[in-house]
Amino acid sequence: MKVVPSDSICEEVKDFFRETFKEEPDYVVGAPGRVNLIGEHTDYQGGFVMPIALDKKCVVAIRRRSDGVHRMATKFAPDEVKTFEKGELPTKREDSDGEHTQWWHYVLGAIQCTREAFPDKVGTEPPGFDLAIVTDVPVGAGLSSSASVEVSVSAALEALCGMEVDPIQRAKICQRAEHEWARMPCGLMDQAISSGGLAGHAMLLDCRSEEPSHVPLSTEKTRVLVVDSGVRHRLVDGAYALRAEQCKQAVAALSKRRGSAGGSLTQLRDATPEEVAEASTEGVLTGDVRMRAEHVTSENARCLRFAELMKQGDVEAAGEEMYSSHASLRDLYAVSTPEIDWLVDHAKGLGIQGGVYGARITGGGFGGCVVMLVDAGKAESVRSSVLSAYRQWVEGNRDAYERHLTPVPQPGAFVAMPSDGAHRYE
């Protein structure tokens, strides 16, 4: 794990640790959130994704205890310290309190899945510890706040137990934690980029082979702008799981259509847009299942084209792929919202002359953020103008929000610098 000098959020978590536990931490580790440039809702079908690690992160301070007690706290709930006496740390989600997923489920999942992966190093029960969490990754904005918690907690336990773990292996451990403890059937992308991101690069991840390659991003020519719509989602409410199930239904239908002589088809990664179109014409794929398959197969192709265009420096053509991705997510995967669509349309209206090459929804959907590829020299002016225009639009719709008892969005925006993945502080 890379070792880096202290920064402001490192000092913040150390202060919070001291206030909460009245001791000094043994280790401080961090893991970033992510924004996905392209390749959305493809990872859990073995496809391709291309995220960057953000310079916003979750940071964990940890200290070994000799009495076997486990205590954990987060600055989001500073008056709530979860305490488990020796031998009482839950080993599976069903044994933990809380019907709905809470912050400590992500912590417990990362701890127990790491222990199960390395029982010889961690032991039959994790060593006692005090653990404190501080994060500046926006929660519910589609920037992988949950993955950053899981990866940073897993990395903290690694440090405490003197382990060095491969980034992809760590990512797979944390993906399992998300599946079993947060009950979210996610792919590998979020944990992979949080664990193994490289500064100045995007990660082109083949989610079937689980092999990452790093694509340089020209920070001289472009910047990545993240605009938070202020609309919050909760993917655990079932919409994400429903789409994952619809993809499985598409795989089953396409596999049956191929027959034994047609070659293996275990994920939509194995299908092509042309095959999906033919199956749709024949009535094999219909309704929502057809649309989900159309999106995934076309998005895989878009992601690979985008990566090549960025390598070639053709940011204008790469931006068009982003707009196409958004249209597919809006119309075929049905995960956008009016606010997100307004932001993408506004970006497209600004155009290249206004400093925007491309824009799309990013993350699981149903709110969250828009990612924009913008001119490096105009990044700050684009950020300011987009945010100002969007706030005016939201204010113009205030009556509608209040009439439907919907929270009025509180937007934000920041320029993201591609950063390193999991790291330990000096």
User: Looking at the annotation, which residues are catalytic?
Assistant: 190
Element (H, E) at 71: strand 70-74
Both tokens of 378, joined, read 């105009």
**Closest of 35, 31, 53, 419 to residue 226, by C-alpha:** 35
Angle, alpha carbons 235-239-241 (nearest 5°): 85
Task: Return the amino acid letter for 280.
Answer: S
Report yes or no: 48 and 42 within 8 Å, Cβ to Cβ. yes
CA distances for 65 relative to 16, 86, 151, 185, 238, angstroms: 18, 11, 21, 34, 39
Both tokens of 210, joined, read 């689980």
Report yes or no: 27 and 61 within 8 Å, Cβ to Cβ. yes
Cα–Cα distance between 356 and 368 in angstroms, integer? 20
Cα–Cα distance between 414 and 221 in angstroms, integer? 17
DSSP symbol at 226: E
Within a 13 Å sphere around the CA of 167, how many CA atoms are in the beta-carbon half? 23
